[in-house]
Amino acid sequence: MLIRLGYEIAFRLPQPTPMLVTLNIHDSRRTDILIGQELRGLPQVPMRQYHDSFGNTCTRLVAPPGLFTLYADAVVQDSGVQDLTMPQLREVPVDELPDEALLYLLGSRYCETDQLVGMAWDLFGHAQTGWNRVQAICDYVHAQIEFGYHHANPTKGAAQALREGRGVCRDFAHSAIALCRCMNIPARYCTGYLGDIGIPPVDAPMDFSAWFEAYLDGQWYTFDARHNTPRIGRVLIARGRDAADAAISNSFGANTLEKFVVWTDETDDPTLSPRLPVSATPPAYAVT
């Protein structure tokens, strides 16, 4: 299966402004790119890439004053296989976890395990362990939180999202991650592309999506508390402890987000034919 994906994100800046953006397709999917126009700036500016401590490809630049646009477009090969469902998988005892997984047991900026640990054990202490416990957490979060772009709040953490019962995709991910960690299951935040592939089209602007991975039986597996059903066509951009580690952009100065358009569509065309102009109102939480 082929997926065409990309974005056009425009900022208006009053002065030259350093920026750090995490918008490249993750290295784990680089070999799946059939053809692509890499991250570009309009107007063009020097850019320098590096890998952060989570393995994400980050780009440093100084945006010029005025209107500045970031743009990329690509066609990627995807297996077309749904997210795995493997209820036989077991939890790994903390003392047997690899060192690199321990970080994902700890509380973080948006995953306040200290505030949720009592509730987590009350809710899931007697649940089946392993995959089934993670799925029980997803079921709970999916039922507890109402999705809506108007519920976006860039300072909201898991505890607030669960208390208020509303949020956006990252709030679903943060809430499930925090509850998993409370139950001694390593969990990490993911962001990337997820289009309406294999499901009826959704009448809402396309956006980047957030999901999470849980460590079970020695590997990381995908879970999605917002959609709470196996999906097709996820393309990873970044991972981290939570959204603070995988923000698509950090601007070190004043700016206004003027355009935010994302596309993720199944295609049978392995070329980058010209796209029709698109526009959309930016989701309030798109840039952190």
DSSP secondary structure of 121-155: HHHHTTS--THHHHHHHHHHHHHH-EE-GGG--TT
For residue 67, what are the β-bridge partners? 12
The pLDDT assigned to 286 comes to: 38
pTM here is 0.94
Clarify whether residues 241 and 255 are in a common domain: no
Number of domains in the chain: 2
Edge-to-edge strands of the sheet including 249-251? 47-51, 57-63, 17-21, 249-251
CA nearest neighbour of 168 among 134, 197, 120, 205:
205
Clarify whether residues 150 and 258 are in a common domain: no
Q: Is residue 146 part of a domain?
A: yes
Q: Is residue 132 part of a domain?
A: yes
The pLDDT assigned to 202 comes to: 80
Interatomic CA distance for residues 198 and 172, integer angstroms: 22
Tell me which residue range forms the domain holding 69.
Answer: 2-80+246-267
How many other CB atoms are found less than 10 A from the CB of residue 101?
A: 18
Cα 256–chain centre separation: 22
Interatomic CA distance for residues 288 and 283, integer angstroms: 11
The sign of the dihedral angle between the CA atoms of 3, 4, 10, 16 is positive
Q: Is residue 28 part of a domain?
A: yes
> Residue 192 belongs to a domain with what CATH number?
3.10.620.30
The pLDDT assigned to 122 comes to: 98
Answer yes or no: are the C-beta atoms of 162 and 201 closer than 8 Å: no
* Contacts of residue 137, Cβ cutoff 8 Å, sequence gap at least 6: 124, 176, 179, 180, 183, 225
CA nearest neighbour of 193 among 24, 10, 20:
24
Q: In which residue ranges of the chain is pLDDT below 70? A: 276-288
Interatomic CA distance for residues 191 and 207, integer angstroms: 11
Q: Is residue 85 part of a domain?
A: no
Clarify whether residues 59 and 106 are in a common domain: no
Q: Tens digit of pLDDT for each residue in 247-273?
A: 999 999 999 999 999 999 999 999 998
The pLDDT assigned to 205 comes to: 79
Q: Is residue 274 part of a domain?
A: no
Answer yes or no: are the C-beta atoms of 216 and 92 closer than 8 Å: yes
Q: Is the peptide bond before 43 cis (omega within 30 degrees of 0)?
A: yes
Interatomic CA distance for residues 91 and 135, integer angstroms: 12
Which tokens hold the place of 36?
């692509």
Clarify whether residues 20 and 70 are in a common domain: yes
